[in-house]
Structure 1
């Protein structure tokens, strides 16, 4: 049962990490220019996951379901997605060889971006709630499942940005420009989809 739980947890972690979403767009975009800060961004996102997990374990997650707090989370997510879309678009003409700052303040900033983007994303909350139900229904070992999940996520936020960063020399400025514009449009799209969901929710 422990091995089965570990494997299932790992596969769930892969399923959570791989799909294209706001945090992965941010990770890939950052990895093109600075690998360590891409990893720090991923660790910030993982910290948000750990926080939601803690709330589930202590039975406090219900206070975030529905109501005004859920509405505020969506508003925060929309605002932050639009902000990141603007920043990535603004960065479209910057050369890949130009470096990010390596000071503590810069590292703290990218960590908080990963943390906040994941924390205010309502889909993160829905994911962890579904994981809790899935683990209970299949009678998996909770600890081994979580170890498997976070192992997969750690591998994703360290290995994928590494491969992206190592391939940056093959990317021309023209391609870089297109990738930045495409990334900013995707982030705008995620934000707009949340607005549509909020409007539907208010009309129900």
Structure 2
């Protein structure tokens, strides 16, 4: 009997762990910010593939931070205030530069002069922005470390008001490869679906591309200014 119950118990444990990993990945990838601004701009201007490629750039940065977190090297950033300040300032300047480029694309699209055949820079832009984003480093030093350590998390029990009733329904096993696979799977779901939604909306709204480009420029410029203020 014991030999039969082990696989069943493992399956019962792994399924919520995989679901929890997907939810954690979506929670990291979905919130509005500079990376999603780049993905939206690339999707609206150059199509789904360009938006997806930009998303891969951001996910590549997460993979790098994951490796650094495993090795313990990412703690250097938090233990070196000067380095963190340089990262924030560098990220802010890059965001302002990319915002300037987004404004140029928005103007070109508004006057029907955009060269949509121009090679996409989305992967490099998202990768560089993510690598210079200290908040992404902070995620891997806090939540990320928690995902890597062996243990368990009762995800739904932390919900306000209903946590006591939902406790035990989604218990995630941390430090398990299935959790990490689900985490990056959740990111893939987002960088696949978000560009598709932008492209679908663009087909319905003829002037959506310049609007998205302008919105991307605004998000990048605002984030860049906030980063520079924090660095100073």
Normalised to the residue count of structure 2, the TM-score between the two structures is 0.75
Counterpart check, 1:70 vs 2:84? yes
Tell me how far 1:48 sits from its aligned partner: 0.6
CA contact (8 A) 1:33 1:98 kept: no
The match for 2:157 is: none
Tell me how far 1:152 sits from its aligned partner: 0.7
- Residues in 2 aligned to 1:132 and 1:170: alpha-carbon distance in whole angstroms: 39
2:175 to 138, 141, 144: 141
- Residues in 2 aligned to 1:110 and 1:197: alpha-carbon distance in whole angstroms: 26
| Equivalence map 1:9-88=2 (5 Å) | 9-34=21-46, 35-65=48-78, 66-88=80-102
| Max Rg structure | 2
Counterpart check, 1:92 vs 2:106? yes
Tell me how far 1:191 sits from its aligned partner: 1.3
- Residues in 1 aligned to 2:176 and 2:188: alpha-carbon distance in whole angstroms: 18
Tell me how far 1:122 sits from its aligned partner: 1.2
- Residues in 2 aligned to 1:181 and 1:52: alpha-carbon distance in whole angstroms: 30
SS in 1 for 2:45: coil
- Residues in 2 aligned to 1:116 and 1:78: alpha-carbon distance in whole angstroms: 11
The match for 1:202 is: none
Q: Number of aligned residue pairs: give it.
A: 193
CA contact (8 A) 2:40 2:216 kept: no
- Residues in 2 aligned to 1:3 and 1:176: alpha-carbon distance in whole angstroms: 40
Q: Which runs of 5+ in 2 are unaligned?
A: 1-12, 153-172
The match for 2:199 is: 165
- Residues in 2 aligned to 1:110 and 1:128: alpha-carbon distance in whole angstroms: 23
The match for 2:169 is: none
- Residues in 2 aligned to 1:177 and 1:23: alpha-carbon distance in whole angstroms: 18
The 1:186/1:110 distance shift into structure 2, 3 A limit, reads closer
How big is the alpha-carbon RMSD for the aligned residues of Structure 1 and Structure 2? 2.1
| Equivalence map 1:112-123=2 (5 Å) | 112-123=124-135
The 1:110/1:180 distance shift into structure 2, 3 A limit, reads closer
- 1:39-92 alpha-carbon deviations (Å, 9 max, x no partner): 111111111100000001111111122323212211220111001110111111
- Residues in 2 aligned to 1:47 and 1:176: alpha-carbon distance in whole angstroms: 26
